[in-house]
Amino acid sequence: MLKLLRQSPTSARIGMAMISLMLIFAIFAPVIATYEETSVVGDVWEGSSSRFYLGTDQIGRDLFTRMVYGARNTIALAFATTALSFFIGVLFGFLAATKGGWFDQIISRVIDIIMAFPTLIFCLMILSVVGPSITNLIITIAILDSTRVYRLSRAVAMDIAVMEFVEVARLRGEGAWWIMRRELLPNALPPLVAEFGLRFCFVFLFIASLSFLGLGIQPPTADWGAMVRENAGAITFGIYTPLIPAGAIAFLTVGVNLIVDWFLHLASGLED
C-alpha cells in the first residue's frame, strides 16, 4: 500500500492533498470554525477581513464557519449515501451473479427501467411525494444510484463466479453468502474501489444540485449547495460570495477525480 502511494503520479498526489485538506476541515470543524454554525455575527455580505476570513453570508453569518461546517455536513452525507448505495448495489449484484436464473432476470429488468429514467427527475418526483428530509434524501439517492453499482458488481462477479476456486467452494458445500463474502468480494475489490470514487463524486454533485434547487438539506444547516442558492442574489451586485461554496464543490470533485483517474489507470493496467 505504501509502495503504491510512493509510485503515485503527481496528479493523484495533488488530488490526495486536496481531499485531505477538505477532510481536515470536515473532521475538526468545531475547532477550526471561528463562530457557531448558525449564529448571526455581522452585517449582510461583508467583505473579507481579519474578523471574517471569507466575509459574511446573506443574513450576516460568518462564511468561513459555514464553509467548514458545510464541508462536514456535505461530505458526511455524500459518503453515507455512497456507502449505502454500494451496500445495496453490491449485495444485489453479487446475488444476481451467484443465483442467476429468474432472480437475476427480475432484478436486472427492474434496474433497466430505473436507469431508463433520468436520475434527477426521478429523484425530484420521489421527493415531491415523500418530502425532503435527510433520511429520505439518503435512501432515495442511494437506491437510485445503486443501479449503477449493481451493473458493475454483477458484471465483475459474473466473471469471477465461473472461476475454478468458486466452483470448488460450491462443491465443498459453501452457501451463497459465504461465496459472496469470501470469494467474490476480495476479487472484485479493485474495480469497485475505483467505482466508489466515481459514485462518490456523482452523489456529492447530485446532493449539491438538489440542495441548490432547495430540495436537499434544509436550512439553517450549513451545506455548500444550499449556500450557493442562499447567496445567489449577491452575484448581481458584483459580490462573489456564491462562488466560494460552488468553488469548494468543484474543488472536491476535481480532487476525487484526479485520484479516480489514477485508480482506473492502475486497474486497466495501461502503461502509456
Could you please report the per-residue DSSP string of 218-260? Answer: PTTS--HHHHHHHHGGGGGGT--TTHHHHHHHHHHHHHHHHHH
**CA geometry: angle at 179 spanning 173 and 180, to 5°?**
155
* Residue type (1 letter), 102: W
**Which residues 6+ apart lie within 8 Å of 18 measured at CB?**
251, 252, 254, 255, 258
**Residue placing its CB nearer to another protein in the complex, 17 or 176:** 17
Decide: is 17 part of the binding site for another protein (CB under 8 A).
no
- Applying the rule CB under 8 A, the residues between 238 and 267 that interact with another protein are 238, 240, 242-243, 246-247, 249-250, 253-254, 257, 261
Which of 44, 120, 163, 189 touches another protein by CB under 8 A?
120
Decide: is 77 part of the binding site for another protein (CB under 8 A).
no
Least distance between another protein and beta carbon 77 (Å): 15
Q: What x-and-dash track marks residues 169-208 binding another protein by CB under 8 A? A: --------------------------------x---x--x
**CA geometry: angle at 253 spanning 33 and 232, to 5°?**
65
Least distance between another protein and beta carbon 173 (Å): 36
Set of cell numbers at residue 189: 475489490
Q: What count of other Cβ atoms lies within 10 Å of the Cβ of residue 213?
A: 15
- Sign, CA dihedral 27-31-34-35, equals positive
**Residue placing its CB nearer to another protein in the complex, 67 or 180:** 67
Total of chain residues touching another protein, rule CB under 8 A: 41
Decide: is 127 part of the binding site for another protein (CB under 8 A).
yes
**Euclidean distance between CA atoms 192 and 204, whole angstroms:** 18
**Residue placing its CB nearer to another protein in the complex, 254 or 267:** 254
Nearest to 13 by CA among 268, 198, 261, 266: 261
Which of 2, 4, 31, 121 touches another protein by CB under 8 A?
121
Least distance between another protein and beta carbon 226 (Å): 12
Judged by the rule CB under 8 A, the positions of this chain that interact with another protein are 112-113, 116-122, 124-130, 201, 205, 208-209, 212-215, 225, 228, 232, 235-236, 238, 240, 242-243, 246-247, 249-250, 253-254, 257, 261
